[in-house]
Structure 1
Amino acid sequence: MSLVYLSIAVIWLQVAVQWSRGAVISSEMMHNHNRDPRAVRTTNTAYGLWPNPQAILYRIGAGFTATDTAGIQAAMAQISADMNNCIRFQPYTNVTNAGTDFIQISQTLSSPTTASVSTATCFSFPGRVVRQAGNGQTLLMVGGVDGCLSSTREIMKYLVNSLGIRNEMNRPDRNGAIQVVADNQLKPGLQNLGITTILPAATTTLLTTNFDYKSITMPAVTKYVNTGNLYSAVGGAALPTTGNTAPGNLARLSQGDCLGLRILYPTTCTAAVAPCPDNYGGTGASTANANAATGTGTGTVINGTPGGTPLEPPQTGNVQF
Structure 2
Amino acid sequence: MIKLLVVCSVVLSTGYAATPNADDKYQKWADPGRVLYQTATDFDPGDMQVLLSAMQQVSLDSGMCIKFQRYDNRADAGKDYIYISNKLSGGKAMSTCYTFPGRSVEQQGRGQYMVLFSSRTAPGAASQTATVPGACLDTVRDAMKYLFQALGFRSEYGRTDRVNYLDFLAADPNSLVAKSMAEWTPFKIYQPGEASFYNLFDPLSITMVDGKKWAKNPMNPVFTPKSNVWIGGKPNLSQQDCQALAMYGCDTIKCQNPYSLLGGQGILVTPLSTPMDANGVCATGQQILLGSVMASGLTVPKGPQAGIPFNPQQSAVNQSISGSGIVQGAFISGEPSIPSGPALPGPMMMSLPVHERAGLNSPYAFSVAGSNPYNFQIIPDPVDPSKANIIINSAARSFTNAQITVQAANINAPQQTPQVGQALVSINLNCGPLFMSYPPGSSSAASRLNFPSTPIRIVCDGNMLQTPMIIGTFTAQDPDSDTGVTYYISMSNKFQISSVGVLVLVEAPASGLGLIPVNINAMDANGAVTTLHLSIQFSCA
Normalised by the length of structure 1, the TM-score is 0.69
In 2, distance between residues paired with 1:138 and 1:45?
A: 18
Determine the structure 2 residue equivalent to 1:212.
Answer: 202
CA gap of 1:53–1:14, structure 2 versus 1, over 3 A, is closer
CA drift at 1:62: 2.8
Moved over 2 A (4+): 11-21, 62-65, 201-207
Amino acid paired to 1:26: N
User: Percent same amino acid among aligned pairs?
Assistant: 30
The residue that corresponds to 2:41 in the other structure is 62
Could you say which residue in structure 1 is the equivalent of 2:94?
A: 119
Amino acid of the residue matched to residue 258 of structure 2?
A: N
Aligned residue for 2:78, secondary structure, equals coil
Q: 1 CA distance for matches of 2:29 and 2:259?
A: 28
Residues 231-260 of structure 1: per-residue CA shift (max 9 Å, x gap): 2124xx3642xxxxxx25210000110111
1:251 is aligned to 2:235? yes
Provide the C-alpha distance between the structure 1 equivalents of 2:261 and 2:8, rounded to a whole number of angstroms.
38
Code of the residue aligned with 1:166 in structure 2: it is R
1:221 aligns with 2:200: no
Q: Specify the alignment match of 2:115 in structure 1.
A: 140
- Tell me what 1:99 maps to: 78
1:200 equivalent among 191, 206, 215: 191
1:191 aligns to 2:191 (yes or no): no
Structure 1: gaps of 5 or more residues: 1-10, 28-43, 241-246, 287-321
AA at the equivalent of 1:197? K
Question: Could you say which structure has the higher helix fraction?
Answer: 1
- Change beyond 3 A, Cα 1:53–1:18: closer
Q: 1:130 to 1:19 in 2, by over 3 A?
A: closer
Is the Cα–Cα contact under 8 Å of residues 17 and 203 in structure 1 kept in the other structure? Answer: no
Match of 1:231 in 2: 223
Q: Which runs of 5+ in 2 are unaligned?
A: 1-6, 120-130, 266-541
In structure 1, how many angstroms separate the alpha carbons of the residues matched to 2:89 and 2:224? 37
Higher relative contact order (CA 8 A, sep 6+): 1
What are the superposed Cα offsets for residues 187-231 of structure 1, whole Å, 9 maximum, x if unpaired? 112113130011114655432x43211100001232111222232
- The one-letter code matched in structure 1 to 2:248 is Y
Query: Deviations 1:111-138 (Å, cap 9, x if unpaired)?
Result: 4xxx6x5322211100000110111111
Larger radius of gyration: 2
Query: Is the 1:18–1:206 contact (alpha carbons within 8 Å) kept by the matching residues of 2?
Result: no
Q: Secondary structure at the match of 2:37?
A: strand
Mapped contact 1:17–1:204 kept (Cα < 8 A): no
Deviations along 1:119-167, one digit per CA (max 9) or x if unpaired, are 2221110000011011111110021132011110010000000000110
Q: Could you say which residue in structure 1 is the equivalent of 2:142?
A: 154
Amino acid in structure 1 at the alignment position of 2:21: S
- Aligned partners of 1:165 and 1:260 also within 8 Å: no
| Paired amino acid for 2:156 | E
State the 1:173 CA deviation.
1.0
Q: CA RMSD in A?
A: 2.4
Give the aligned partner of residue 26 of structure 1: 21
Check the 8 A contact 1:14/1:200 in 2, yes or no.
no
Give the Cα–Cα distance (whole angstroms) in 2 for the partners of residues 213 and 276 of structure 1.
17
Deviates more, 1:62-71 or 1:99-108: 62-71
**Cα distance between partner residues in 1 of 2:10 and 2:190:** 7
Structure 2 letter corresponding to 1:171? R
**Is the strand fraction higher in 1 or 2?**
2
Paired residues, what number?
A: 242
Q: 1:179 aligns with which of 167, 182, 190?
A: 167
Q: Is structure 2 residue 248 aligned with structure 1 residue 265?
A: yes
CA shift for structure 1 position 64:
2.4
Report if aligned partners of 2:58, 2:237 keep a CA contact under 8 Å in 1. yes
Matched residue of 1:81: which SS? helix
Residues 275-314 of structure 1 mapped to structure 2, 5 A cutoff: 275-284=254-263
Helix, strand or coil: the match of 1:100?
Answer: coil
Per the alignment, residue 47 of structure 1 pairs with: 26
Cα drift, residue 45 of structure 1: 2.7
The 1:61/1:265 distance shift into structure 2, 3 A limit, reads same
Indicate if the aligned counterparts of 2:154 and 2:195 stay in contact, CA closer than 8 A. no
SS at match of 1:164: coil
* Secondary structure in 1 matching 2:98: coil
1:37-88 Cα deviation digits (max 9, x unpaired): xxxxxxx331111001101100111332222111111100000001111110
Whole-angstrom distance in 1 between the partners of 2:14 and 2:162:
14
